[in-house]
């Protein structure tokens, strides 16, 4: 394996007590155009002490040169840019873990290379970072970019509860794909599980709650998920999701004996990967009517926007 690292200091002298360093990690592979948009959204943050960590999982499209050019420019909110490349592709899971190892910020949060931040995202997290005293991590709502009749269409989604307990998250991933927490906590739980072919983020959210307590929602939509620019997401790979489902049942025994398996099955719906039989839907309806209604709504979204 060949590796390389680019480290450019863009600004210094921040007051670390009032403005702690936040590491934003981006795993990437052959998506330099959307990666550029993701990096610019970090550079445009109104919080000015950010470390950007990019782990390249074997790109062959000139990503390294693209990042080098970006790093040569001045970016007020970014204190440093770190770039790490593997010439052998090992998957996004290991790329995320490598990024967290490389990071030096007190706090970490992720960004997919095909998504982007609203400019206030990091600042809003840091402003209430004290909530992490009683919560394992913080999360927000999302804006989704998709197509409707060939035109850009955005819709919003946010968790129905502002505090997510273990029982709640075992029913479904009501967090999304990114959170804000301490780097120390991610390392303590060994970050993302490389054996999971999908749902690695969902697994981490569960393990963080098991270890450090409930998660806390912030009422904003500062993360934009772009389902148009890079449609080849893991969450659309049915075989990977089926394999992940089986691993989940073995890894999290809470699903066994508590009649929660039906909820895990319903997660297929939320990842847009399989239809649900009327019998499955009825079994959920009798356990949790409100949740069953949400499943139906998600099924409708899948039909309209995919």
- DSSP E strand stretches across the chain: 5-9, 22-28, 50-57, 78-86, 107-110, 116-117, 138-139, 142-148, 151-157, 163-164, 180-182, 215-217, 223-226
Q: Mean of the pLDDT values across residues 125-147?
A: 96
Q: Please report the pLDDT score of residue 26 as a whole number.
A: 98
Q: Please report the pLDDT score of residue 285 as a whole number.
A: 60
Q: Please report the pLDDT score of residue 259 as a whole number.
A: 57
Q: Please report the pLDDT score of residue 2 as a whole number.
A: 39
Report which of residues 274 and 66 the model is more confident about.
66
Q: Is the per-residue pLDDT at 10 higher than 50?
A: no
pLDDT single digits (tens) 59-114: 999 999 999 999 998 787 899 999 999 988 988 899 999 999 999 999 999 999 99
Q: Is the per-residue pLDDT at 235 higher than 90?
A: no
Report which of residues 214 and 157 the model is more confident about.
214
Q: Please report the pLDDT score of residue 150 as a whole number.
A: 80
Q: Please report the pLDDT score of residue 254 as a whole number.
A: 80
Q: What confidence category does residue 28 fall into, taking pLDDT thresholds of 50, 70 and 90?
A: very high
Ramachandran angles phi, psi of 117, nearest 5°: -95, 150
Mean pLDDT for the chain?
A: 83
Q: Mean of the pLDDT values across residues 113-130?
A: 97
Find, among 85, 82, 91, 66, the residue nearest to 25 by Cα.
82
* H or E element at residue 287: helix 278-287
Ramachandran angles phi, psi of 14, nearest 5°: -70, 145
Q: Please report the pLDDT score of residue 237 as a whole number.
A: 64
- DSSP E strand stretches across 58-91: 78-86
Q: Mean of the pLDDT values across residues 122-151?
A: 94
Q: Please report the pLDDT score of residue 4 as a whole number.
A: 41
Find, among 137, 136, 101, 139, the residue nearest to 211 by Cα.
136
The lowest-confidence range among 18-32, 73-87, 205-219, 278-292 is 278-292
Specify whether the CB–CB gap between 288 and 258 falls below 8 A.
no
Q: Please report the pLDDT score of residue 1 as a whole number.
A: 36
CA dist., res. 132 & res. 123, Å (int) = 15
Q: Which pTM does this prediction carry?
A: 0.83
Q: What percent of the chain has pLDDT over 70?
A: 75
Q: Say which CATH topology domain 5-236 has.
A: Spore Coat Polysaccharide Biosynthesis Protein SpsA; Chain A (3.90.550)
Q: Mean of the pLDDT values across residues 290-294?
A: 64
């Amino acid at each position: 394996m060949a590796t390389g690292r680019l480290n450019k200091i863009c600004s210094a002298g921040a007051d670390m007590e009032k403005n702690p360093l936040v590491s934003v990690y981006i795993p990437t592979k052959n998506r330099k155009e959307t990666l550029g948009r993701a990096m610019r959204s970090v550079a445009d943050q109104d919080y000015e002490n950010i470390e950007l960590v990019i782990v390249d999982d074997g790109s062959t499209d000139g990503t390294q040169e693209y990042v080098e050019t970006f790093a040569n420019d001045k970016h007020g909110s970014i204190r440093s840019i770190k770039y790490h490349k593997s010439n052998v592709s090992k998957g996004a899971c290991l790329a995320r873990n490598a990024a967290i190892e490389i990071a030096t910020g007190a706090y970490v949060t992720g960004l997919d290379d095909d998504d982007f931040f609203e400019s206030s995202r990091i600042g809003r997290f840091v402003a209430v970072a004290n909530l992490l005293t009683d919560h394992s991590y913080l999360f927000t709502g999302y804006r989704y970019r998709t197509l409707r009749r060939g035109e850009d269409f955005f819709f919003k989604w946010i968790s129905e509860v502002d505090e997510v307990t273990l029982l709640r998250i075992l029913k479904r991933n009501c967090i999304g794909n990114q959170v804000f927490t301490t780097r120390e906590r991610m390392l303590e739980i060994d970050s993302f599980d490389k054996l999971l072919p999908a749902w690695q983020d969902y697994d981490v959210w569960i393990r963080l709650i098991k270890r450090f307590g409930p998660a806390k929602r912030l009422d904003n939509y500062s993360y934009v998920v772009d389902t148009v620019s890079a449609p080849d997401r893991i969450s659309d790979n049915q075989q990977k999701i089926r394999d992940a489902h089986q691993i989940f049942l073995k890894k999290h025994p809470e699903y066994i004996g508590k009649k929660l398996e039906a909820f895990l099955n319903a997660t297929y719906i939320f990842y847009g990967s399989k239809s649900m039989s009327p019998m499955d839907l009825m079994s959920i309806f009798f356990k949790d009517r409100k949740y069953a209604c949400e499943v139906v709504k998600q099924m409708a979204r899948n039909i309209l926007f995919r």
